[in-house]
Structure 1
Amino acid sequence: MTGSVSPRRADTRRNHERILAVAAESLSCSAELSFNAIARKAEVGVGTVYRHFPTPESLILAVYEREVRHLVDVVPRLLAEHSPEDAFRTWISEYLAHYMMTKRGLADALTVATKSCEKLPANAYEALAGAVSTLVAANVAAGNVRDDLNPQTVLRGLAGLFYLNPADSWREHTADLTDLIWNGMRKA
């Protein structure tokens, strides 16, 4: 059959995704990874985890890339469902800030993983910059913001989210930071 996927390949993809999902959940609170615990929770053999991710560093980087992809992939849906301004604000508060507040273990694990031979993928920053570019372009087209904005500058401003404390009123502080950035972006 043309275009069909073998059950084995589909199963492999499902296992891969389950392993990543379980690892992401595990890394949300701790930088420590146990391949045995991940295999058990993902309902696969530990050998399957090692076949997909031969080292803890490769698994950590794959989780990071998956999480960044989720942040980027949601942008078109937000723009389809919301006004450009609301899409921008929703992306920051419900996706970017939420990601940063719930992935502290991943951040710590990335620090460890990138000290080894692995390097943080440069395309992750480019992907996030592309997501911000899309949101800024939609707001420029809607007449909401200045047309001379550099999306990378906006992304650098959003780096202030790194300084929020997940145990504090991070949603309120995110709204304050978003307002500050938005006011700097608006037309005079």
Structure 2
Amino acid sequence: MSAGRTARQVQAERSRVALLEAAAAAFVDAGVQAPVRDIAARARVGVGTVYRHFPTRAELVTAVYRHQVDECAALAEQLLAEQVPPRAALCRWTSAFTDFLVTKHGLSDALSSDDPSLVDLHALIFDTLVPAFASLLEPAQATGEVSEDICALTFLRAIGNLCIVGPGYTDADARAMVGLLLIGSGASSAEHEHEHEHAGR
């Protein structure tokens, strides 16, 4: 009986992972409001299976992004453990976070949404990533490389807003604007500064 339960648990976890992967792909294509039937079709399961694992859309959206958010937080810990210089660490993390946002378009939309069903996602993002970002921002402020007037939460919100792509505003535009934001903060890397010099010629 125990082995049977374990087998069922393994199968349930595989089904859950398949749904999360299908949902992540659907969110990239259609945003976080992608139809459940499309997600089910991508995962090759019935709509009922989706709802058994994730009774509400908010639970599904939060689950899809939790892993990526955890990876972003882990990167901050890694950069600190490796003793990467403060400005370089801040730029590397911001670059990775920007890549995450512009490739997961649905997340940027969710972060800027007033939809009450996404409150849990807001809390997940900010409760996890604000401390991670602050752990890199504060050393850069201590060395005078970044203005002490910058607040971690405000800076992350600004990056999120800059990463909402759409008609006439591409992924490349978003990355360029985040680069300018870093320059304005005093945190631009040597590579960003070099690119900016060439752009001005």
CA drift of 1:24 comes to 1.8
* 2:158 pairs with one of 128, 144, 160: 160
Are residues 136 and 46 of structure 1, via their aligned partners in 2, closer, same or farther at CA, if it must alter by over 3 Å? same
Aligned to 2:178: 174
TM-score by length of structure 2 reads 0.67
Structure 2 counterpart SS, 1:33: coil
Which residue does 2:196 correspond to in 1?
none
**Residues 111-126 of structure 1: matches in 2 within 5 Å?**
114-116=115-117, 119-121=119-121, 122-126=123-127
- Residue 144 of structure 1 deviates from its aligned partner by 3.5
Pair 1:75–1:172, CA change in 2 (3 A): same
Cα separation, 1, equivalents of 2:119 and 2:44: 29
1:131-177 CA distance string (max 9 Å, x none): 1122235547xx644799588x0331242221354515222222221
Q: Distance in 2 between matches of 1:109 and 1:18?
A: 22
Q: Alignment partner of 1:29: what SS?
A: helix
Q: Distance in 2 between matches of 1:126 and 1:135?
A: 15
Aligned-partner Cα distance in 1 for 2:57–2:90: 34
The answer to whether the Cα contact below 8 Å between 1:68 and 1:127 also exists between their aligned partners in 2 is yes
Q: Which amino acid aligns with 1:8?
A: R
For structure 1, list consecutive stretches of 5 or more residues without a partner in the other structure.
none
1:86 maps onto 2:88 in alignment:
yes
Provide the rounded CA distance (Å) in 2 between the counterparts of 1:149 and 1:17: 42
Confirm or deny: 8 A CA contact 1:24 1:63 kept in the other structure: yes
Deviation at 1:19, TM superposition (A): 1.6
Q: Percent identity?
A: 28
Normalised TM-score (structure 1): 0.70
Contact 2:145 2:187 in 1 (8 A): no
CA shift in 2, pair 1:181/1:16, >3 Å: farther
Pair 1:62-2:66 in alignment: no
Size of the alignment, in residue pairs? 175
Counterparts of 1:112 and 1:137, CA distance in 2: 29
Residues 36 and 50, structure 2, Cα contact 8 Å, conserved in 1: yes
Q: Unpaired runs of 5+ in structure 2?
A: 189-201
CA RMSD of aligned residues (A): 3.4
Q: What secondary structure sits across from 2:179 in the alignment?
A: helix
Instruction: Work out the CA distance in 1 between the residues paired with 2:134 and 2:92.
Output: 15
CA distance in 1, matches of 2:187, 2:89: 16
Q: Quote the offset at 1:51 in angstroms.
A: 1.0
CA distance in 2, matches of 1:15, 1:147: 45
Which deviates further from its counterpart, 34-43 or 16-25?
34-43
